[in-house]
Chains A and B, each alone.
Chain A
């Protein structure tokens, strides 16, 4: 059993309030007090990006006010403060993911850049003509396109493991598509469309048995589930700060130390070298080797503050509340005549996608917006999955630690209104 599923089963089954003071937590997020089109904001688009609490806003502002300088360059007091703070943030991210050491964390712009780094550096060095890379049918474009492009460039083959009727990825489907030519499997931890929680530990065992490596695309999981990359048994893990209450433009790629040590630089530039001459260059050790140019200091400090915020509440406690919100939403959606729920995975994270018969998702979203409700609509950057599901677009409601049961009821009322308008 994965750590996430163990946690979910030990969580209380029926609770009507989180184990923290929800009003006090909501008060930490200034934007939640906004009104939209004259209604209180019900922000249910958390899988796209989350709102920011005061400590994160303060961390970014304080960086500019009191501690801003370039990282790992100067020796003056501010440069020293900036460098130490940046490395403390890295250590915090390492602990957040269960990494063995800070040196295993590469700061990147977000998950997209993390996967491009893995493909551009590790992939180009290790994937050859005739090799295979395995992904699944439910992947986000960010975990398809870097691999598709790599395969096209080197003459490798992209192999796709299917989903089943529930929207789960059966292990047999993965096992049947692994081969001695498989170099890497790249899979989502949680589907951004179906909510499916993938059995990463079991997948890791299968993948490693064939001698390949496993990359996990984790932005939909990291803010919600306790992540322990060593327990999961993967080789790469990518996530984004902005989906975890942190700033945009910052995220991390974790990889095992020996893998990073053998990877060539990807983007090149200042700050990542031991010695440069026109005849050749000696690059620095990881993670410095992968962070050319001036780093996103305020982003890293904001992310560290976000991690502190999450850890103070506790991810198992947050997950228990999000599970309550999600179950209430599933209950309410099941009452809507004709509503088609996309994905009925047995282990689901805190998001639900659906379509209403005869009403385009964009019209649903516009009606909901009129009620102050923010949801996501569209193909959710998963066009191959949309094709598999036979829909051009979906509506997605996704929950975070600050959402309320009242907001779920507002969503249900908004859907009733949409049905009325398009009767």
Chain B
């Protein structure tokens, strides 16, 4: 059975694939930047770990539990930021938040290519679910800022 109408925009095949098989879903012992995202509304908890060397993200991984959207978003985040410079990751973050949450960001902009992350554009039509999609990205923001102990998206 397929998802009908608007729901197909939310639960795209790419997103469901990452929900079922999250990538980089493990601890990263050599990580030097960490942050945790917590959504008290739904109990979602994402721990993001980055290995940053010479201003470049060598590897990103995550652990935790959450809904389909928050897990897929974290999974795709880890793929998207690996290999990027901290500055590039920040611009990607800005562009993702602009696309998904509609929050204008000075850092992001139309020139940043979202690629596969465009799959989350449909989340905007579900205001109650936007925070699920942005949870891991808020953790990325905190981790790049030096690692806040925990961020919340509620």
Partners in one complex: yes
Is B46 in the interface zone, CB < 8 Å from A? Answer: no
A101 to B138, CA, bound (A): 55
A361 to B42, CA, bound (A): 8
Is A367 in the interface zone, CB < 8 Å from B? Answer: yes
For A37, list chain B residues within 8 Å (CB).
5-6
Q: Quick one: which of B6, B11, B67 has the most chain A CB within 10 A?
A: B67
Interface flags, B105-134, vs A, CB<8A=1, else 0 = 000000000000000000000100100100
For A377, list chain B residues within 8 Å (CB).
42
> Do A360 and B4 have beta carbons less than 8 Å apart?
no
Partner of A362, one of B4, B6, B7, B67: B67
Interface flags, A114-127, vs B, CB<8A=1, else 0 = 00000000000000
Q: Which of A1-47 contact B (CB under 8 A)?
A: 37-38
Whole-angstrom distance between the Cβ of B90 and the nearest chain A Cβ: 28
**When A362-B132, A421-B1, A422-B68 are in contact, do A392 and B44 touch as well, CB less than 8 Å?**
yes
Partner of B6, one of A363, A370, A386, A393: A370
Interface flags, A374-405, vs B, CB<8A=1, else 0 = 00011100000010000011000000000000
A37 to B67, CA, bound (A): 22
Partner of A370, one of B7, B41, B129: B7
Q: Quick one: which of B5, B40, B68 has the most chain A CB within 10 A?
A: B68
Chain B count of residues within 8 A CB distance of the other chain: 24
Is B43 in the interface zone, CB < 8 Å from A? Answer: yes
Is B65 in the interface zone, CB < 8 Å from A? Answer: yes
Partner of A378, one of B16, B42, B66, B68: B42
**When A37-B5, A422-B16 are in contact, do A366 and B10 touch as well, CB less than 8 Å?**
yes
Chain A count of residues within 8 A CB distance of the other chain: 20
For B68, list chain A residues within 8 Å (CB).
359-360, 363, 422
For A362, list chain B residues within 8 Å (CB).
42, 67, 69, 129, 132
> Do A360 and B42 have beta carbons less than 8 Å apart?
yes
> Do A392 and B42 have beta carbons less than 8 Å apart?
yes
Is B3 in the interface zone, CB < 8 Å from A? Answer: yes
For A392, list chain B residues within 8 Å (CB).
42-45, 65
> Do B16 and A360 have beta carbons less than 8 Å apart?
no
Is A420 in the interface zone, CB < 8 Å from B? Answer: yes
> Do A360 and B67 have beta carbons less than 8 Å apart?
yes
> Do B66 and A360 have beta carbons less than 8 Å apart?
yes
> Do B5 and A38 have beta carbons less than 8 Å apart?
yes
Q: Quick one: which of B11, B43, B44 has the most chain A CB within 10 A?
A: B43
Whole-angstrom distance between the Cβ of B100 and the nearest chain A Cβ: 15
A420 to B16, CA, bound (A): 12
Q: Quick one: which of A362, A386, A417 has the most chain B CB within 10 A?
A: A362
A238 to B45, CA, bound (A): 34
**When A362-B132, A366-B129, A392-B65 are in contact, do A421 and B16 touch as well, CB less than 8 Å?**
yes
A377 to B126, CA, bound (A): 15
A422 to B10, CA, bound (A): 13
Q: Quick one: which of A363, A379, A393 has the most chain B CB within 10 A?
A: A363
> Do B7 and A363 have beta carbons less than 8 Å apart?
no
Interface flags, B35-61, vs A, CB<8A=1, else 0 = 000001111110000000000000000
Partner of B1, one of A363, A393, A417: A417
Whole-angstrom distance between the Cβ of B81 and the nearest chain A Cβ: 24
Interface flags, B1-19, vs A, CB<8A=1, else 0 = 1011111001100001001
Whole-angstrom distance between the Cβ of A200 and the nearest chain B Cβ: 31
Whole-angstrom distance between the Cβ of B17 and the nearest chain A Cβ: 12
Partner of B41, one of A366, A378, A422: A378
A61 to B86, CA, bound (A): 58
A386 to B44, CA, bound (A): 13
For B66, list chain A residues within 8 Å (CB).
360
> Which 6 A/B pairs are nearest by Cβ-Cβ distance?
A392-B43, A360-B67, A420-B1, A362-B67, A370-B7, A363-B68
A-B contact pairs, 13 of them (CB 8 A): A360-B44, A360-B66, A363-B67, A366-B7, A366-B10, A366-B129, A386-B43, A392-B45, A393-B42, A393-B43, A417-B1, A421-B7, A422-B19
A362-B129, A366-B126, A393-B43 known, 9 other contacts, Cβ within 8 Å? A366-B10, A367-B7, A378-B42, A379-B40, A393-B42, A417-B1, A421-B7, A421-B11, A422-B16
